[in-house]
Structure 1
Amino acid sequence: MPKVSDLFFKTAVVWFILGIGAGLQMAISGDHGSFPAHAHINLLGWVTSAIFGGYYALNPAKAERKIAMIHYGLYNVGLVIMLPALYLMLHEGYTALEPVVAAGSLMVAAAVLIFALVVFSSAGVRSASALSAATR
C-alpha cells in the first residue's frame, strides 16, 4: 500500500476514535450542543480521510507524487486547527475561536482543491493502450 494511503487510513482511525469520544461525551453529559463538531470530526476526519486513503491505494502512481503528501499534510493540519476550535466554540461557547475555525476550514478547502487537482490530472495515469502493450 502506498505510504500516503497508509497515513490517511491510520489518521482516519484516530479521527474516528476522537469522534466516538465526542459522541460519548455528549451522550453521558446529556448536552448535545456540540453535535456539529462531532459530525465534522466523523465526516471530515474519519470518513473523508478513509476515502482519500482508498483513492490513493487504487491509484498508486498518483500516490507516489509529492503532491499527495502535500495534500495529506495540509488536510490534516487544517483539521487539527479547525476541529478542536469548533468543538470548544460550540461546547464551551468560546466564540472568539471563530477566526481559528475559519483558518482551519480554509486550509481544509485548499487541501480538497489539491485533491481535485490530483484526481483530474493525467500525471501518473497510464493509458489503456499503454497498459495493453505492457501486458503483451
Structure 2
Amino acid sequence: MDKKFILTSFAYAIAGLTLGIFMAATKNHGQLVTHTHILLIGFVMSFIYALCHKLWLDKINSRLAKLQYYLHQLGTLGVVIGLFLFYGNFVALEAVDPLLALSSITVLIALILMKVLFIQTLKK
C-alpha cells in the first residue's frame, strides 16, 4: 500500500505544481483554492499515508487498507474536480456543492479508516 500511496502522491504533486505554474504564467490565480487542495489532500495526505504504511502498517494489504486507499482517492478527486469547476466559473456553487460535501466526507471517512488500521495493529 505504501507504493500505491507514494505514486499517487507524486501524481498529485505534479498536477498541483503544474496548475500553480499555469496560474503564475497567466497571472490568473483564480484556482488557488483548487491548487491548495490538490497539494494538501492529494499530495501531502497521500504522502503521509505512504509513510504510515511503510513505517507502521508494513505488509497490511487487507480489504480495509484497500478501501481506505480508494476512498481517499475518490474523495480527493471529487473535491479537486468540484473546486476546479466552481473556481473556474464553469458551474454555480449550488450545482457543485453536493459533490464537494460528499467528497469531503469521503476524505474524512478515509482518515477515520486510517486510524482504525492503526488501532488494529495495536491489538496484534
Fold-level match, TM-score > 0.5?
Answer: yes
Runs of 5+ unmatched residues, structure 2 = none
**Displacement of 1:93:** 5.0
TM-score of the two chains, using structure 2 as the length reference: 0.88
Greater Rg by CA: 1
Greater RCO (CA < 8 Å, at least 6 residues apart): 2
CA distance in 1, matches of 2:100, 2:68: 19
CA distance in 1, matches of 2:100, 2:59: 30
Q: Which amino acid aligns with 1:83?
A: V
Asked if the contact 1:89/1:98 (under 8 Å) is kept, the reply is no
Provide the identity percentage.
Answer: 25
TM-score of the two chains, using structure 1 as the length reference: 0.81
Aligned length: 122
Match of 1:50 in 2: 47
**Displacement of 1:81:** 1.4
Match of 1:64 in 2: 61
* 1:30 corresponds to 2:27: yes
Which moves more between the two structures, 89-98 or 25-34? 89-98
Q: Which amino acid aligns with 2:99?
A: V
**Displacement of 1:75:** 0.5
Match of 1:134 in 2: none
Runs of 5+ unmatched residues, structure 1 = 128-136
